[in-house]
Amino acid sequence: MDGTLIDSGEYHWVTWHETLAELGVELTRADFNGWFGSRNDRILTRYFPGIGAADMQRIGGLKEERYRALVRRDGVSLLPGIGDWLARLHAAGWRQAVASSAPPANIDVLVEVLHLHDVFQATVSAEEVAHGKPAPDVFLRAAEKVGVPPARCVVVEDAAVGVEAGRRGGMRTIGIEGGHSHGRLDADVVIQSMADLPLDTFDRLLAVGPS
């Protein structure tokens, strides 16, 4: 979602920095860039080994409340090419799902703010599955929700852990560089923006099959 559909990375940076600072952790941009896109439990255990479930939920909840408040107050926009592709795939009958490391409430807010209820047949948060990316669980759950075999799915990702998760799930992958990837993505197709993606890419990827 973040870095693929939208870029609210600055909102995440501000709210993580503020929340961790209150707990005595001085978050750096380098550290943030290194783990951005991971589940909150993975992030918090990095800084607080042995943290209990209640504290993890409380701290993560505070950060996410701040994030959602920023989204609602300042808004967010789709990245270049995304709106056209969502509409094009929807019109062609493709089933589309958001599969994200974000909490369910964050996904719901972004779908609401962006008016995408009619585009997506399913949303999946990593909180719904046993393992976050790079495990394939979140994408496999999305495929299950839309009723499509993994081999007939295409994952669009901007992060290396997401691309790896898609590949491990037996799906084809499109990698968007220049967002939160910070390096070359090992995807079947690599682009700088969805606005650059050739119109036959999705059909061509499924014709070839999973690598």
CATH code assigned at 134: 3.40.50.1000
Query: For residue 210, is pLDDT > 90?
Result: no
153 and 87 together in one domain: yes
Domain end among 29, 48, 74: 74
pLDDT of residue 132: 86
Handedness of CA 132, 135, 137, 143 (dihedral sign): positive
Tell me the pLDDT tens digit for each residue of 94-113. 999 999 988 899 999 999 99
Distance CA 51, CA 71 (A): 28
Distance CA 205, CA 178 (A): 22
Distance CA 16, CA 12 (A): 6
Whole domain around residue 44: which residue ranges?
A: 9-74
Q: How confident is the model at residue 18 (pLDDT cuts 50, 70, 90)?
A: very high
Distance CA 29, CA 70 (A): 19
Domain end among 21, 43, 74: 74
**Residue 47: which CATH number?**
1.10.150
Query: For residue 40, is pLDDT > 60?
Result: yes
- What pTM was computed for the model? 0.83
Number of structural domains the chain divides into = 2
